[in-house]
Structure 1
Amino acid sequence: MARRPLIKPRKIATQRRSRATVDALVEATARILVKEGFDKASTNRIAAVAGVSVGSLYQYFPSKEALVAAVIERHQQEIMQMVRRELAGVLTESVEKAVHKLVTVAVKAHRVDPKLHRVLAEQIPRVGKLEKLETFNRENFALFSTYLEMHRDELRIDDLGLASFVCVTAIEALTHNAVLHYSRMLSDETMEALVEEAARLVTGYLKR
C-alpha cells in the first residue's frame, strides 16, 4: 500500500525573512499549478520559480503535496474571510433574502481567483483530506442550521439537519459548476438569472 504524502509543514516561519521565503514558495506553487498543473509542480521547479534553494524549501515543507496544502489553506482562508464578512447579519433576514444572499455569496466565493480555485478543486483528492476544508464546510452547515432553527415557524420541513445538508450542498454544487465550468457560456445577465432561479428553488423547498 502506497504511503500517503506528508502535507503538514515541517516548521512554522516566525521571522520576517523566513515568512517571506514561505510566502514566495506558496505563491510559486500557486502559479505553477495554474499555468502548468500538479504534475509539473516538482519541488525543484517550485524552488526555482520562488528564487530559493531546494534545501530552503525542505526546511519548511516535506513535499510538494505539503506546498499544495498550504496553497489550499491560504485560498480557503481568503474565501472564508469574504464569506463571513458578506454574511454578517444574515440570521435576521427573511427566508427569501437570506437564501438569495447565500447563493450570491456562493457565486462570489467561487470567483475568488477562479483559475486557482478550479485547479485546487481538482487536486484536493490527490493531496489528501484537509481539515481546513472540513472546518469551512462545517461552518457553512452550522450557519445555515442556526438560521433554519431561528426561522423554524416559517418553514415546511421538520428535519433541519437534512434541510441544511440539501440546501448547502445544492447551492455549492450549482455555483461551483456555473462559475468554474460554464462561466464562459454564461453572461452576467444569465448568471444573475441563475442566482434568482437557484434562490427560488431553495426557498420553494424550505417555505410553507
Structure 2
Amino acid sequence: MRRVPQQARSRAMVERIIEAARTVLVRDGYESFTTNRVADEAAVSPGSLYQYFPDKSALVTEVMDRWSAEISDRVAASLAATGPVDVKDPGTVRAIADALLTAIESDAGLLRIVWEELPAVRHRAAQHSLENRVRELLAVYLSASGVTARDPSARAWVIVMAVENVAVRWVLDQPGISREALLDELSAMAGGFGAS
C-alpha cells in the first residue's frame, strides 16, 4: 500500500518522483526503467522513494493513471467546448478527432511506451477508463442531438474506437499524412454515422 504524504514538503517530493518516473520511462523505455534511475532523476534517495512507492510497478501505475486522466480531461474539455454534437455535421467528428489528436500528441513519447512497450495488462485499465469516459460523453451528446435511429451508445463506441486507433497510429507512425488531411479523412469516414 502506498503511503500518502501529509506535509507540503513530502507532497512536493512525491510530485517530483512522479515527474521523474515519467521522464525516465519516456527517455529509457519500460525495460530499462528502474526505481534507482527514478530516484537519481528526482534527486532523492532510494529509501525516500520507497516510502511512497514500493516498487517499479507502483510508479508505472501512478504515471499511467495520471496520463490517462490528463488525456481524458483534455478530450472532455474539448468535447464540452464544441457545443451540441450533430453527427450529420462533419465538423463535429472533426472536432472530436482534433480533440483526441491534440490530447495524445501532447506526450507522444509516453504514448509510444504505453502502446508499444508496456505489457498490455499494465495499461488496459487506464485505456478502457479513458475510452469509457469519452464514449459516455459522446453518447450523451449524440442523444441530446436527437440521434434516435440507431443506438447512440453503439455509435459512440464505434466513433471513439475508430478515431482513437487511427489517431494513435498517426501519432506513432508519422505516415506523411498532414494533420488536416487526416482530419478530413476521419470526417469523411464518419459521415455515414449521420445516416439512419
Q: CA deviation at 1:78?
A: 2.2
Which residue of structure 2 aligns with residue 5 of structure 1? none
What is the rounded CA distance, in whole Å, between the counterparts of 2:62 and 2:121 in structure 1? 11
What is the rounded CA distance, in whole Å, between the counterparts of 1:142 and 1:11 in structure 2? 33
Decide which of 96, 100, 115 is 2:94's aligned counterpart: 100
Q: What per-residue deviation string (whole Å, max 9, x for no partner) do you get for residues 27-55 of structure 1?
A: 22111111211121111221122111111
Equivalences, count: 194
Q: CA deviation at 1:77?
A: 2.5
Q: 1:60 to 1:126 in 2, by over 3 A?
A: farther
Q: CA deviation at 1:165?
A: 1.6
What is the rounded CA distance, in whole Å, between the counterparts of 2:150 and 2:182 in structure 1? 28
Percent identity between matched residues is: 32
**Are 1:118 and 2:101 an aligned pair?**
no
Q: CA deviation at 1:125?
A: 2.9
Q: 1:93 to 1:159 in 2, by over 3 A?
A: closer
Which residue of structure 2 aligns with residue 12 of structure 1? 4
8 Å CA contact 1:65, 1:127 repeated in 2: no
Gaps spanning 5+ residues in structure 1: where?
1-8
What is the rounded CA distance, in whole Å, between the counterparts of 1:26 and 1:123 in structure 2? 19
Which residue of structure 2 aligns with residue 88 of structure 1? 80
Q: CA deviation at 1:89?
A: 4.4
What is the rounded CA distance, in whole Å, between the counterparts of 1:21 and 1:37 in structure 2? 23
Q: What per-residue deviation string (whole Å, max 9, x for no partner) do you get for residues 95-120 of structure 1?
A: 22221110111111111111122112
Decide which of 179, 192, 195 is 1:204's aligned counterpart: 192
**Are 1:78 and 2:70 an aligned pair?**
yes
What is the rounded CA distance, in whole Å, between the counterparts of 1:56 and 1:105 in structure 2? 38
Decide which of 13, 26, 36 is 1:34's aligned counterpart: 26
What is the rounded CA distance, in whole Å, between the counterparts of 1:84 and 1:161 in structure 2? 16
- What amino acid does structure 2 have at the position aligned with 1:83? V
- What amino acid does structure 1 have at the position aligned with 2:25? L
**Within 5 A, what are the aligned runs for 1:1-208?**
10-95=2-87, 96=89, 97-125=91-119, 128=122, 131-153=125-147, 157-182=149-174, 185-186=176-177, 190-208=178-196
Q: 1:104 to 1:126 in 2, by over 3 A?
A: closer
Gaps spanning 5+ residues in structure 2: where?
none
What is the rounded CA distance, in whole Å, between the counterparts of 1:112 and 1:169 in structure 2? 19
Runs ≥4 residues deviating over 4 A = 129-132
Greater Cα offset, 113-122 or 195-204:
113-122
What is the rounded CA distance, in whole Å, between the counterparts of 1:108 and 1:116 in structure 2? 14
Query: 2:190 is paired with a residue of what secondary structure?
Result: helix
What is the rounded CA distance, in whole Å, between the counterparts of 2:83 and 2:133 in structure 1? 14
